[in-house]
Structure 1
Amino acid sequence: MKKINITKLANLLNGEIIGNKDIEIDSLGQLNEAKEGQLTFINGKKFEKEWATSSASAAIVNADTNLKPGENKAFIKVENANFGMIEALHIFAPPLASFNTDIHPTAVVHETASLGKGVKIGAGVYVGEEVKLEDGVIVYPNVSILDHSHVGSLTQIWSGAVIRERTIIGSHCIIHPNASIGADGFGFEPHPQKGLVKVPQIGNVVIGNFVEIGANSCVDRAKFSSTIIGDGCKIDNLVQIGHNCKLGMFCIMAGNSGLAGSVTLGNGVVIGGSASIKDHVTIGDKATVGAGSGVTKNIEPGKTVLGYPAVEGRFALKQWAALKRLASK
């Protein structure tokens, strides 16, 4: 078990230590669950009252706190406790799954595939024709990367993910287990004799740099052209992104949310959990869609919408308050 003296840890976090400087930290813990020897964090006034009953030996706190650590405990004061805890998590993080060989003997790598320096490929992986994996790509067991796809440097693709043909993935991305990237978009046309006729989906998916796609999420390829996920987007688990959608940079989509086909998100858009966005809708830069909302029309930049159907946030709250008053009569 890794142990780090609290003084050394404070130096690593560029923080100021207050209290007992001889504490040894062996792990991290949640404020109300941490045990002796563990480090926790307090990121706001509303959590400070929980410190009195916490068994943690130390906490990362904001520099402006007036809270005292108490007897035989310590605080590491940093400019921002959230960022301080992120750094601490990196320090204490256990190693990722290891590879005994760079290319597992059970992996199938097409002879035309191109592998950069330091590429690692796990057991049961399939790498198709003309696939290019840049330097430092890690492909965990039982991943399929189909023909003519391109994966940028230092990207990680976790077990069970399927990367369909012609997909382009940038550098420093993380594709979590069982994600589906580049499957057919959901396109069908009613036909008087044949029922529903499948519309061929001949485009692809283009994913930028520093993108994270959660477990069991799906990003469908375009009917033509590309479905695009911009740099820095973070997609939670169980998210659906339909064909021909275009996401700007640094968008966030929480779990169970979904975009129908041809939705456009500006930069910095936040989509709450279980929210649904109708096809061909445009959501402007830095707009927020509340959890469980249903968006049926365009949203202006910077707006917050709530409800089903979604309306401007303040108006939605007034509606709910009015309904509450009616229900109480």
Structure 2
Amino acid sequence: MKLSEIVKILRMDFASLGIEDAEITAINSLQNASGSELSYCDSEKNEKFIADSKACAVLVKKGVEVPKNIIKVECVNPHLAFAILSKYFAKPLIREPRPSAIAKSAQIAKGVYIGSNTQIGERVVICAGAYIGDDVVIGDDCVIHPGVVIYNDTIIGARCHILANAVIGSDGFGYAHRSDGTHVKIYHNGNVVLEDEVEIGANTTIDRAVFGSTIISSCTKIDNLVQIGHNCELGENCLIVSQVGLAGSTILGRNVVLGGQAGSGGHVRVGDFVQVAARGGISKDLPAGKNFAGHPIMELKEWFKLQAKIARFFKDK
């Protein structure tokens, strides 16, 4: 799509911008955009990524500095502009039919849907009612239980177990907001990657990334009824207990344990070997090797002290 067409979709006048036209093939992040892609900067904290970006053009607010080799497209709300354009660059849900590669040793039950250009490895078992989308890769010795939905572009390693009615690779919960209070959907063009020996519990959902991948690293085990937001990255050997909710771009180190109904705000980092007690609310980065509880979150030993003080206060009443 021509940049001039993109500007027209955003209801801006291309001539008044005083910029050259270019062919845009996709939208991508500042860090990952190539020389034919459009990116955007929606906050001051992300401005530092513009200088090293390889994007062809970038959507920015007025006054933001952009290198001369990148076409500068000034707009009032770059995040909203990106959301509007994401629909035009979204990958199709149903793609051109191409043959899939299914190992002869795989066991595929009746009623399974397998999409275009999908690869299914040796000794894979897929139970009735599962949906496997287009351009999916499923490694050797995986077991896919009834009713599982695996969306397009998902990559699954070897020896993974995905339990009943889990949903892997649906769009994340992302919206931009107009000044009148209405919301604009952000279409997600990334994917989900499950590494080897991952287990996903029943009715758990793992959202695809906006760009890049949502990653569940090897040997991580996720319980039932867990929500993993877009662009999250879970390290090796994590244990995620039932009803945990991780907001977008949460990053967990290795061997992190999250108790039942614990949750995180977006864009937080949790260090290796951290344990968070049930219902803990992760609102900030957590250093490695410590135990935490509560909301606002604090070290577990401090949380126990606080509970003791509260108990004494009410006892004295």
TM over 0.5: yes
Among residues 218, 224, 230, which one is paired with 1:231 in the alignment?
A: 218
Which position in structure 1 is the counterpart of 2:273? 286
Where do residues 93-172 of structure 1 align in structure 2 (5 Å cutoff)? 112-172=99-159
Count the aligned residue pairs: 220
Q: RMSD in angstroms over aligned alpha carbons?
A: 1.0
- Structure 1 alignment gaps of length 5 or more: 1-109
1:300 corresponds to: 287
| Pairing partner for 1:173 from 160, 174, 182 | 160
Structure 2 equivalent of residue 315 of structure 1: 302
Offset of residue 111 of structure 1: 5.8
Per-residue deviation, 1:117:
3.2
Return the alpha-carbon distance in structure 2 between the equivalents of residues 227 and 161 of structure 1: 18
Q: Which residue in 2 is equivalent to 1:275?
A: 262
For residues 281 and 193 of structure 1, the distance between their equivalents in structure 2, rounded to whole angstroms, comes to 30
> SS at 1:219's partner residue?
strand
> 2:191: which partner in 1?
204
Indicate whether 1:265 and 2:264 are aligned. Answer: no
How much does 1:193 deviate?
4.5
Deviation at 1:292, TM superposition (A): 1.1
Does residue 190 (structure 1) correspond to residue 190 (structure 2)? The answer is: no
- How many angstroms apart in 1 are the aligned matches of 2:122 and 2:166? 22
Q: Distance in 1 between matches of 2:248 and 2:98?
A: 36
2:243 alignment counterpart:
256
Q: Which amino acid aligns with 1:196?
A: H
Q: How far is the alpha carbon of 1:309 from its aligned partner? A: 1.7
1-side partners of 2:222 and 2:110: how far apart? 26
Distance 1:304 1:287 in 2: 6
Partners of 2:276 and 2:249 in 1: CA distance: 17
| Unmatched 5+ stretches in structure 2 | 1-96
* C-alpha distance in structure 1 between counterparts of 2:186 and 2:299, whole Å: 36
TM-superposition CA deviations, 1:140-197 (whole Å, max 9, x none): 0010000000000000000000000000000000000000000001000111257101
Amino acid of the residue matched to residue 255 of structure 1? S
TM-score (norm 2): 0.68
TM-score (norm 1): 0.66
Q: Which contiguous aligned blocks of 4+ residues in structure 1 show a shift greater than 4 angstroms?
A: none
What amino acid is the match of 2:204? S
Displacement, 1:218?
0.3
Matching of residue 241 in structure 1 with residue 228 in structure 2: yes
Aligned counterpart, 1:216: 203
Q: Which residue of 2 aligns with 1:3?
A: none
- Partners in 1 of 2:296 and 2:205 — Cα distance? 24
Q: Secondary structure at the match of 1:321?
A: helix
How far the C-alpha of 1:258 sits from its partner, in A, is: 1.0
